[in-house]
Amino acid sequence: MSGDMILFFILASLSVIFSLLVIFPRNVVHSAMALAATLFFVAVLFLTLDAPMLAILQVLVYAGAIMILFLFVIMLLNPAALEGRRIAWWTLGSLAAVALLLELVSLFFYRPSPSGQPPVAAAFGGPETLAQSLFTDFALPFEIASVLLLVAIIGAVALAKREG
């Protein structure tokens, strides 16, 4: 087994462990910190794929800005008020886990075409390729995601004001 494979399995194992730590703790702040660690390990996995721009964006956007947003929302919402709905959350989470498991099983049995995978472009993961893709092919989803984040922030502030 090569060193790259060993590094991949170590990083993948750490990602899975920390993602489980997002789900199981009762303290939501601990869950948020475990999510930040998971996002950081995903960024390191991007580095192993020779995609440094994606790794930097993963750390800056997700492990940085989005996690700060999550922590502010957690502080605004008073997590103790959400404790009464634990069975509903477990049911919803269990349904999502089953859906994910079915998707993973279908991917496991997926067989690619005999021609194999197309070669990876030399500029894969670079800033030029990423910008070209983001502002041409994915401009509308990018804007929709920003509007959804804005709505989430407004909703969190409205919930915090209503309870306070």
Q: What is the reported pLDDT for 113?
A: 64
pLDDT in tens, 6-30: 888 899 999 999 999 988 887 888 8
Please give the Cα distance from 18 to 37 (Å, whole number): 7
Using a CB cutoff of 8 Å and minimum separation of 24, what contacts does 9-12 make? 11/41, 11/44, 11/45, 11/48, 12/45
Q: What is the pLDDT of residues 94-138, one digit of tens each?
A: 898 899 889 888 888 877 666 666 776 666 767 788 788 888 888
The CATH class given to the 3-98 domain equals mainly alpha
| Digit-coded pLDDT (tens) for 57-92 | 889 888 888 888 887 777 777 666 656 666 776 788
The answer to whether 42 and 58 have CB atoms below 8 angstroms apart is yes
Structure tokens at 130: 């990423």
Report the distance separating Cα 135 and Cα 128, nearest Å: 11
**pLDDT for res 84:** 62
Distance CA 22, CA 37 (A): 10
What does the pLDDT average to over 33-58? 89
Nearest CA to 152 out of 84, 59, 62, 77 is that of 77
In the chain, domain spans: 3-98
Among candidate residues 50, 44, 56, the one with its CA nearest the CA of residue 12: 44
